[in-house]
Amino acid sequence: MSERLLVLVRHGQSEWNLKNLFTGWKDPDLTEQGVSEAKDAGRKLKAQGLTFDVAFTSELTRAQHTLKLILDELGQPGLPTSKNLALNERDYGDLSGLNKDDARAKWGEEQVHVWRRSYDVPPPGGESLKDTLARALPYYVQEILPGVLRGQRTLVAAHGNSLRALIMVLEKLTPEGILKRELATGVPIIYRLKADSTVESKLDLAG
């Protein structure tokens, strides 16, 4: 039986990460540092001796660009890839495009903190983490997980909050636990799953 391999990677630093802006479904590309992070992720995966059968990403440029750079480093530029908005970043609604400090000045630090760090309180016109999970999780269960369990080595390049939804399930985290979980940009997390879809082992390639 081939291994049940699932690798999650948050996109490299984007232009709006650098500017401290709420990004959400807006579509900035990677910074030079983000490009470097994505290439480094590919090199780290190559050093682990990994190749992939299939990849998944969001409909946003920063995640797609990250995936392309990783696959180039792995020598797999033509890998079959599915793109779906189910893996898009959390939609920050009216906050999208705003500097985080400006948002605090407008709505107050406490309110912005609630929007950013609560599980189920959405910003105006946007999604909570719970909402993001509600669209990302069915896609994972229906489209990604079955292939992993069949032995398809699977790479997912997406976003901090959409990946949190998958990690919440994989690592059996509570809503409180997932809020505390930070995902660094461009750092692969390697999961090997048991036949029942629970995690057999996890390796975080930070550093």
Residue 2, pLDDT > 80, answer no
Q: Mark whether 11 is an active-site residue.
A: yes
> Can 200 be counted among the known catalytic residues?
no
Say what the pLDDT of residue 179 is: 85
Using pLDDT thresholds of 50, 70 and 90, give the confidence band for residue 180.
confident
Average pLDDT over residues 131-141: 96
| Backbone angles phi and psi of 109, in degrees to 5 | -60, -40
- Residue 207, pLDDT score: 65
Q: Which of 11, 73, 127, 159 is catalytic?
A: 11
Domain carrying residue 111 = 5-204
Q: pLDDT averaged over the chain?
A: 95
| pLDDT tens digits for range 77-105 | 999 999 999 999 999 999 999 999 999 99
Give the model's confidence band at 117: pLDDT under 50 very low, under 70 low, under 90 confident, else very high: confident
The whole-angstrom separation of Cα 194 and Cα 179 is: 26
Active-site residue (options: 73, 89, 127, 159)? 89
- Cα–Cα distance list, 57 to 64, 127, 136, 156 (Å): 6, 19, 11, 6
Question: What tens digit of pLDDT does each residue of 30-89 get?
Answer: 999 999 999 999 999 999 999 999 999 999 999 999 999 999 999 999 999 999 999 999
Total domains, the chain = 1
CATH number at residue 200: 3.40.50.1240
**Residue 1 pLDDT > 80, yes or no?**
no
